[in-house]
Amino acid sequence: MRAGAFLYPWDVVGDPDAAARVADLGVQQVTLAAAYHSTRALTPRHPRHRVVTAEHAAVLYPVDEARWSGRRLRPYAAGDWAPTADAYGEAAAALAAAGLDVHSWVVLAHNSRLGAACPDTSVVNAYGDRYPWAPCIAQPAVRAYLTGLAAEAAVRPGTRGTELESCGWYGLAHPHAHDKTAGVELGDAAQYLMSLCFCPDCGTGYGEHGLEPAALRAAVRRALGPLWAAGSADAGWPAVERLLGAGVAAATLAWRTRAARTLQEAAVAAVRAAAPPGFQVLLHADPSAYRCGANAGVAPRHVLGVADGVVVPCAGGPELLAPFAEHRSPAGATVVAANLGVVSGMGGSPATLARDASRAAALGATELRLYHAGLASDDDLVLVRSALRGR
C-alpha cells in the first residue's frame, strides 16, 4: 500500500538530512503541517534543537493579507518557533526534491489563540464554561474563517493534496497543558453531553429541531449530575440516549450533524475552488457522527461523497475502517487511509507495523499514514523502514 508520514516543517528546515531520511523509510508521501495548533514537540535528530514549543495555533507560511484584511477572525502567524517566514514552503521544496509527494496538513476547528482573543467564538457547555480551544462551527463568522483558512493553508505551492483535521465539532476532550480533568472518569457518552454547545447560534439550531435551549441545558445538567460522584465509562450512542432520552439526543445530533456536514461541504468546496485539477482532499474522520475532536464524527456515505477520502484513527485497532470501506466508490478512487502510530513513547507500535498494515488492508484500507516521522526515535524509524522496505 501507498504510505505517507506526518511531519512538521521544523523537522525539515535546518536539517539537510531530514528529507532523504524520510524518503529512505519507504514512504511515498509526507503530510506536512501548514496550519497547526499549539504543541510542544521533540526533534530527536535536528542539528540545532531538541524541543520546539509552538505557543499558539498558527500558520506556517506567509498569510495572504489581501484575503484577511478587515476581518476580525483571521489566522495567526507563527512566533519564533517557526524556523523561517515560510517554513512550510521551504520544507515542502526539500521533501519534493527527495522524491516525495507533499500534502498539506491543515488543522481547522482547534485553536486556543482564537478562543482567548475572541471568547464569543468558543463552544460553551451546559454549565456556562467556555472551551477556548474549540471554535463553535455553527457560528457564521467561525465558518467563514474556517473555510477561508482551509483554502489558503491547503493549497500551498508544491502541494499535491491536503488533509483537513478537526473539520467538525471539537469538545471537552483536549490534551491541554497541565491537564487536571481526569479526576472523574467520563466515557464518550458523557463527553458528548459535555461537548454540546449552548452559544446563541446553537440555541437557535436546537430550536429548529424542536428543543428549547434552556430546557435542554437543564436536561443535560440533570443527566450529568449523578456522574460527578462516581464517573461513568459508558460509551456508544445508546449510552447517550440513556442519559438524555432518545428523542432529545436525536434532536441534538441532528442539529450538530447538519452544522458539521455543511462545514465539511463548504471547506472542501473552498479548497477545490483554489486548487488545480487533480488536487486530493481528505478529511480526518471517525465513522460515529456524534464524536468530537481531531477526527471529526461523520456519516461515512456522506463524507465520501464530499471528499476524495478519509484518514481514519487506528490506534485502538483497525475496526473504524470498515464503515468507510463499505462506501468506497466502485471505481476504486476513494482513499481510506489507516492512521497508525509509530512512536513507541506515545503508545505507537512500530514493531507491529507490518501486521497492523495487513489487518488494516483486510478491513478496507487503501493507504497508510504513519504518525509521526519527526517525533519517532531512531529505533522506531529502523522498525518502520524494515516494515515498509523489508530490511
Per DSSP, the residues of 220-239 read HHHHHTTHHHH-B---SHHH
Helix (H) or strand (E) holding 132: strand 130-135
- Give tens-digit pLDDT for 30-45: 999 999 999 999 999 9
Interatomic CA distance for residues 206 and 200, integer angstroms:
10
CA dist., res. 87 & res. 81, Å (int): 10
Side chain identity, residue 99: G
Cell 466502485 locates to 330
Amino acid in the structure at residue 162: T
DSSP state of 75: P
111-112-114 Cα angle (round to 5): 70
Name the one residue in this structure whose C-alpha cell is 477520502. Answer: 309
| Mean pLDDT score of the chain | 96
* CA-wise closest residue to 181 among 129, 137, 135: 129
Q: What domains are there in the chain, each with its CATH number?
A: 2-183+260-389 (3.20.20.80)
Percent of the chain residues topping a pLDDT of 90: 95
CB 39 within 8 A of CB 24: no
Is the model's pLDDT at 158 over the cut of 90?
A: yes
Average pLDDT of span 14-21 = 98
Bridge partners of 311?
Answer: 284, 337
Q: Hey, what's the torsion of the CAs at 333, 158, 357, 336, to 10 degrees? A: -30
List, in sequence order, every residue forming a beta bridge with 370; answer none if it has no partner.
5, 340
- Residue type at 42 in one-letter notation: L
Helix (H, G, I), strand (E, B) or coil at 134: strand
| 58-59 and 29-36 strand pairing | antiparallel
What is the rounded average pLDDT of the residues 239-253?
A: 98
- pLDDT tens for 203-233 read 999 999 999 999 999 999 999 999 999 999 9
Select from 179, 200, 207, 218 the least CA-distant residue to 136.
Answer: 200
C-alpha neighbours within 13 Å on the C-beta side of residue 278: 2
At 294, give phi and psi (nearest 5°).
Answer: -60, -40
Q: Are strands 367-371 and 2-7 parallel, antiparallel or unpaired?
A: parallel
Length of the chain as a residue count? 391
| pTM, rounded to two decimals | 0.97
pLDDT band at 390 (very low <50, low <70, confident <90, very high): confident
So what's the pLDDT on residue 391? 58
